[in-house]
Chain A
Amino acid sequence: MTKAGNAILSLDRVSKTFGRAPYMVKAAQSVSFDLHAGRTLALVGESGSGKTTCARLVMQEYTPSEGRLLFKGKPVEARDAKALAAYRRSVQMIFQDPFSSLNPAHTIAYHLRRPLQLHRRDLKRSQINDAVDELLQRVRLDPGIVASKRPHELSGGQRQRVNIARTLAVGAEVIVADEPTSMLDVSVRLGVLNLLNEMKRDMKLALLYITHDIATARYVAEDIIVMYAGQIVEWGNVNKVIDNPQHPYTRLLLSAVPDPDVRFDDPKAHLKTADVEEVRRLSAIPQESVVAIESDHFVRQIAA
C-alpha cells in the first residue's frame, strides 16, 4: 500500500516482539502502512491482534524490533532531540478512556493552556487565553461554561472533545485515535466521530482510527487495515474490503458484526466453533505472499 512520496508518516516493514524465544510474542509482524494528510486509515481487529501495538509504534512509545518508521520521508533519529520534539508535537493521540485521560485536579482551560505554553513559545499570555477559547469553540464546547470546569463535571463525550482540542492545540498533523468512542454512550458517539471527520477535512489531518467496530470504521475512514495475530491480513479501500472481503478472517469478522437483518435463529447465520477455530489457526500462520485484488485492495494469502 505504498503510495510513496506524499505520506506524512509510514511504517516500513515494522516488527515488534516481546520476550525471548521460546516465549516470544510477535505483536506486530512486518507491518507496513502510510498515513496521508486529509485521510483516515482504520485499523480493525480483535483484542490481541496488535492494533494498540501499532498505535504505540506510531507514537514512538515502542521502538521497532525490525523495520523503519518514516516521518515525512525521513527516519526519526532518537538522538536528535529537536527532531523528536517536532515529531511529538506533530503526532498526537486520543485515548480510549476519556475518564482517565484528563487530570482530575486541573481545569479544562489548564489542559489546553499547557500544550500551548510548551509548544507555542511565540504566543503571549493574553493570546494563549484567546487560543484556548478558540480551541474549545472549534470542538463545539462553550468556553464560558467549560473552561473553568474540572473533568468530573463533564460528560464522557465532552471530555473526549477536550481531548480532541488538546491534540489540535499543538498543531498536530497526525492523530492516533485508539477506540475513541467505545466508552461513550451510543447517542454521543456519532457526534465525536463527525467532529473527527470534520477536523480531518478542514485541517488536513492524517488520522489513524483504531477500533474493533467495523461499522464505524466505514463511517469515518477511506482506507482500512484488518489485523490478526500481529499480521495485516487484508487492506485497501474501505468500501472494497467490506463489500468484497477476500481473507477468511475478514469474512469471519464481518459475519459476526451485529446485523439487525439477520436473526440468530437463521441457520445461514450460524457460526460453527470448529470453523472459527480453523480460520483463526490458518490466519495466525506467518505468510509472505500478498495478492492484489484491485489496485487498491490487497490480501495476504493463507497457508494451503
Chain B
Amino acid sequence: MTKPLLSIKNLTIDYIGETADFRAVDDVSFDVAHGEVFGLAGESGCGKSTIAFAISRLHKPPALIRNGQILLEGRDVLGLDPRELRSFRWREVAMVFQSAMNSLNPVLRVEAQFYDVLRTHQGMNRSQARERTAEMLRLVDIPPDRMRDYPHQFSGGMRQRIVIAICLALNPKIVVMDEPTTALDVVVQREILQRINELRKTFGFSVLFITHDLGLMVQFCDRIGIMLAGKLVEQNSAGNIYTKPQHDYTRKLWASFPSLHGARLMEVAAS
C-alpha cells in the first residue's frame, strides 16, 4: 500500500464543560489517499465538523484534542508552530465551509480577495495576482472580467464557486469541504460538485467531503466513513456503503431517505 496523504490516528476531541466534558470525537482513525475523495457522513452533532476543523487546527476552545495524531504526508499537524501553521493552512489544506458563499468579504472586490491570499502565500504583485485570478475563475466557469465585481453581484452558486477557486489558487494537497452545497438547490449543487470532480482529476488534490446526504456522497466519493455520536462506526468503499451496509446505523440512515424511485425505502423498512 502506498503512503496515505492524510492520516488520522486515534483522534479524540473533547468540548470542555464546567462540570463534565463532552466527547465529540472518540478514537477516530482514517486515511485519505492522494487524489481520493473521502466522505464523512452522519447527523448533526456526530462530530464530523469538529474533525474538519481539527485537521487545519481551526478548532477553538472549549474544543480540546485529547489524544491522537493528524499526519499530512507524515508530518504531524498538531506539532506545527504558529509560523508553520500559517503557511500550512491554504497551501496544503484548504477548507470550504458550510454556507461558504457568505464567507467572502462583502466590501472587497473578488479580485482583492484573491490578491490577499496570493500575496501572503506566494508574494505575488497585483498584475501577477490578476493573471492567476483570471485563470482560476475560468476554471470554475466564471468570466474573468467579473473579477472587479463585489460578492453581492453574484448568485449564491457563483459565490460558492468563487470560494472554491480561491481555495484552489495555491494548489492545496487536500480540500476539506464541510457541507459545501447544503444551501444550494440541486441543479447548482450538481454543477459545482461535477466541476470539483473534474478539477480533482486535473490537479490531483484529495477531498474530504462532509455532508448528511448519503445519496450525494455515494455519487461523489471513493470511500465513506459513517459517524455516530463521535465514533466512526463504519468505513468502506462508496459502493459497499450503498449496497452492503454493515452497521445497523448505516442501514437506518439509508432508510431515512425517501428515494426518488419509491421502492428502496420500503425494502429497507421491511428488513
Contact = CB atoms under 8 A, between A and B. Distances in A.
Contacts of B257: 186, 215
B149 interface: no
Contacts of B191: 271, 273, 276
Contacts of B256: 186-187, 189-190
Interface in B208-258: 212-216, 218-220, 242, 252-253, 255-258
B258 A185 contact: no
A190 B219 contact: no
Contacts, number: 85
Given A258-B216, A264-B193, A265-B197, A276 B187 contact: yes
Contacts of A52: none
A260 interface: yes
Interface in A184-225: 185-187, 189-190, 193, 212, 214-216, 218-219
Nearest to A184: B44
B80 interface: no
A273 B192 CA distance: 10
Chain A CB count within 10 A is highest, among B187, B212, B216, for B187
Given A187-B252, A264-B193, A258 B258 contact: no
A155 B141 CA distance: 40
Contacts of A260: 214-215, 218-219, 242
Contacts of B220: 264
25 contacts: A46-B186, A186-B212, A186-B253, A186-B257, A187-B253, A187-B256, A189-B256, A190-B256, A190-B258, A215-B259, A218-B258, A218-B262, A239-B262, A252-B187, A253-B187, A256-B189, A258-B186, A258-B215, A259-B215, A263-B218, A264-B194, A264-B219, A265-B197, A273-B191, A276-B187
Interface of A: 46-47, 185-187, 189-190, 193, 212, 214-216, 218-219, 239, 242, 252-260, 262-265, 269-271, 273, 276
Top 10 nearest A-B pairs by Cβ distance? A219-B258, A258-B216, A260-B218, A46-B185, A258-B215, A256-B190, A256-B186, A256-B187, A215-B260, A260-B215
